[in-house]
Amino acid sequence: MKVTKAQAKKNRKAIRDYWRSYLADGHIMAWLFADINGDVWMEYEPQGQSYKVYGDDRKAVHQFGDFYRAHGEMPAHITLKDFVAELDIDEYLVA
């Protein structure tokens, strides 16, 4: 997979936005996806429904949401650098 500079910049922004939302625990359910074309994006489900993946062209690399509140847990307050390292998707972030 070859990621363009514009794509890498967009992917980094998507991860930063997702990370901020994760720390704020501001959505019922949220997923961070990566696909075989080198794109990273987030999806939110305000009703807490499960996502559906059609085909093998994308994978959920992280998720969070209402299950934290349901079990009295909150997301770990980690740095963006550590969060990205845990995701292990560096190939999506550099052109």
- pLDDT at residue 47 greater than cutoff 60: yes
Report the DSSP beta bridge partners of residue 41. 33
Residue 43: per-residue pLDDT:
86
Burial readout 23-42 (b: 16 or more C-beta within 10 A, e: otherwise): bebebbbbbbbbeeebbbbb
Closest C-alpha to 91, from 30, 8, 9, 24:
8
- With a threshold of 0.85, does the pTM exceed it? no
- In tens, the pLDDT along 17-27 reads 999 988 886 66
Please state, in angstroms and rounded to a whole number, the distance separating the CA atoms of residues 3 and 93. Answer: 8
Please state, in angstroms and rounded to a whole number, the distance separating the CA atoms of residues 64 and 78. Answer: 14
The domains of the chain are located at: 5-89
